[in-house]
Chain A
């Protein structure tokens, strides 16, 4: 009798325990894998701002920073999938293959890979932002503000994302100032303050009086501040690092997307998607415009921002010619996403060749 009682007590306890465990499992936990330190004030910093938005929405989050894109990424992903995380955001291109590999082993965990194109399993989504829309605005400002008609551009790696940015920037600058030239220096890094600073100095020495960047550190805007030229913040609002130089910044705003996706996991409505959001969806945000901008330019920029958001204006509207004068996009047409995704040629007005 006594034994039976103990046994039933134990089994009911076990039952209760399973109940609580399954109740806990409904609390969705999100994990974030970062390429750099959360304090880079660029790419990773902005993803972490997005993670904090997820926390603020009432979900638990975990992050691992400085995860190299070597064999280590796969272990970190597997460990996160194994330790009760329901959705994992992998925020660098190099995590693409490990993400898909681990996703296959954990079909119940959702994976969200930033900037990649492989969705080999139903639990993998990809997302990216149309940063080139922000660069259309920067180009408009740069083309108007330059006096030397030479605009410097510090680029990271010759991949479509970066080429697209250079083109979008140059096209917009040419529209307001047909005489401008865009000079590119390739830093071959996403984050290396020393190299970025040297690249910026080289451009200033070549007569550039506005510097744009597609690298993540604040070194370039600080060099611009010292040299008395203009610059633009990248990824986050960099105004506080160079109040005079920074005319505006293009901010990566991942928060709304992250909250949305984690909520979808919690509600069971998560589905595989390929997201490419721009200014209209709030994934790309233009920071406050500097007081150095004349009022008419400010108004023009505000209108352009609204038109890009509504889709009335497209960054790549024809006619667009490449460096050799071949037609890339016909008059009145706009470039489709396929063309944008694989863009590996400069438009007319960009100086130099794509390193290859």
Chain B
């Protein structure tokens, strides 16, 4: 019996054959289509889950994905939520593109918030146009400092950056806890774990009266543009791409790997740190124990859903942001447990990874056997 060639898998042996064939090259069209497919499958599966739980699937999906952004306020909340996700994911894409697995953006965000929050508290009750830029800079520097730890340990001591960056997340949260409970807690605050409110000069300006969307969105947009330029128009972007495909090739080409590792971590940390400042000087206005609802982790989903492409990340951050808002609306109006939002985020990632199979394989119909 003649065996089929190795790259042929017979799906069904009968009159007609459908075969799964390995592609010679990953399909570019499918590369950008799979996120759309993943979102579609998530909606179908989500509708099915709602149906099983006894809710009307279309009504539930409407409350999840349409009602939250049906008015100006809702839309501005969507942008408010997407801003940190987009910013962090852009930073992460520098790391992920070049094979550096920075899982600790949440920690870099937290540390950025700590450093910038400390600076903002130094300017407590002071006014001046120069305060906000200093605070923002402090956030970026804080994030960079914190990201440099896994980067330096990786380049000089060969440690695993996944473990180091992840563990540092918990360290950063403990530092924040310590500061808001102890030395930085509001002296008039009955020892509750929060700092004073920052002065107006340390707050990001609001863009519209009555809406919470703030100037931080321009930071995210700037990050999108700059990253696009770096990825596709610079030598650094090319180096990152080559290192992403094959570290050996990169080494053979004589790229200075260590420098690049540290650089992508610093960029990533700066973005996460800026996202942290954006939260505390934007909607929150003080430091307390819960600066971020795990934006740093959710942004990993955003980065991959956006295919590590700056424009893709914009769309992905909006999609993921709406799962947060939708979960709240669905609970308020339909009493659907709010945690379904996390189920949706998980499903998006799952379907994305699953449909990546199509990148490398295709179905082939091979007519009749005879």
**A residues lining the B interface (CB < 8 Å):** 31, 37, 62-72, 74-76, 78-80, 83, 93-94, 96-97, 117, 157-160, 188, 341-342, 344, 355-356
Contact = CB atoms under 8 A, between A and B. Distances in A.
Contacts of A344: 191
A350 B289 CA distance: 27
10 contacts: A64-B328, A69-B288, A69-B290, A72-B293, A74-B283, A76-B328, A94-B194, A157-B181, A342-B190, A356-B181
Nearest to A66: B338
A68 B191 contact: no
Nearest to B173: A188
Interface residues of B, number: 39
A105 to B, nearest CB: 8
B190 A70 contact: no
Contacts of A96: 192
B288 A94 contact: yes
Nearest to B280: A71
B339 A37 contact: yes
B332 A70 contact: no
B29 to A, nearest CB: 37
Contacts, number: 84
Given A70-B293, A159-B193, A160-B190, A75 B339 contact: no
A158 B194 CA distance: 12
B231 interface: no
A65 B331 contact: yes
B346 interface: no
Contacts of A342: 190-191
A93 B333 CA distance: 25
Contacts of B174: 188
A70 B177 CA distance: 14
B331 A70 contact: no
B34 interface: no
Contacts of A117: 190
B328 A93 contact: no
Interface string B49-92: 00000000000000000000000010001001000000000000
Contact of A80 (B183, B191, B325, B332): B332
Contacts of B279: 70-71
A166 to B, nearest CB: 14
Given A62-B335, A65-B338, A356-B182, 6 more contacts: A71-B283, A80-B332, A93-B192, A157-B193, A160-B190, A356-B183
Contacts of A75: 77, 212, 325, 328
Contact of A79 (B289, B291, B292, B332): B332
Interface of B: 73, 77, 80, 174, 177-178, 181-183, 190-194, 197, 212, 279, 282-286, 288-293, 324-325, 328-329, 331-333, 335, 337-339
B328 A160 contact: no
A62 B332 contact: yes
Contacts of A70: 279, 284, 290-293
A348 B188 CA distance: 26
A94 B289 contact: yes
A79 B328 contact: yes
Given A94-B288, A356-B181, A74 B212 contact: yes
A71 B191 contact: no
Nearest to B180: A157
Pairs A-B, 4 closest by C-beta atoms: A71-B283, A68-B293, A69-B290, A356-B182
Contacts of A93: 192
A356 B333 CA distance: 43
Nearest to A76: B328
Contacts of B80: 71
A224 to B, nearest CB: 26
Find the residue from B174, B279, B338 having the highest chain A CB count within 10 A: B338
A158 B338 contact: no
A342 B190 CA distance: 5
B338 A64 contact: yes
A76 to B, nearest CB: 5
B191 A159 contact: yes
Nearest to B291: A70
Given A66-B339, A71-B284, A79 B329 contact: yes
Contacts of B328: 64, 67, 72, 75-76, 79
Contacts of B178: 355
B177 A188 contact: yes
B181 A341 contact: no
A80 B183 CA distance: 35
Given A68-B293, A76-B328, A97 B286 contact: yes
A330 B370 CA distance: 103
A355 B190 contact: no
Nearest to A116: B192
Contacts of A356: 181-183
Given A37-B339, A83-B333, A93-B192, A72 B324 contact: yes
Contacts of A37: 339
B192 to A, nearest CB: 6
B290 A68 contact: yes
Contacts of A341: 190
A97 B332 contact: no
A342 B187 CA distance: 11
B337 A65 contact: yes
A75 B75 CA distance: 12
Contacts of B335: 62
A160 B149 CA distance: 36
Nearest to B294: A68
A94 B292 CA distance: 13
A37 B338 CA distance: 9
Contacts of A64: 328, 331-332, 338
A72 B291 CA distance: 10
A243 B230 CA distance: 64
B147 to A, nearest CB: 22
A71 B338 contact: no
Nearest to B183: A356
A71 B282 contact: yes
A10 to B, nearest CB: 27
Contacts of A159: 181, 191-193
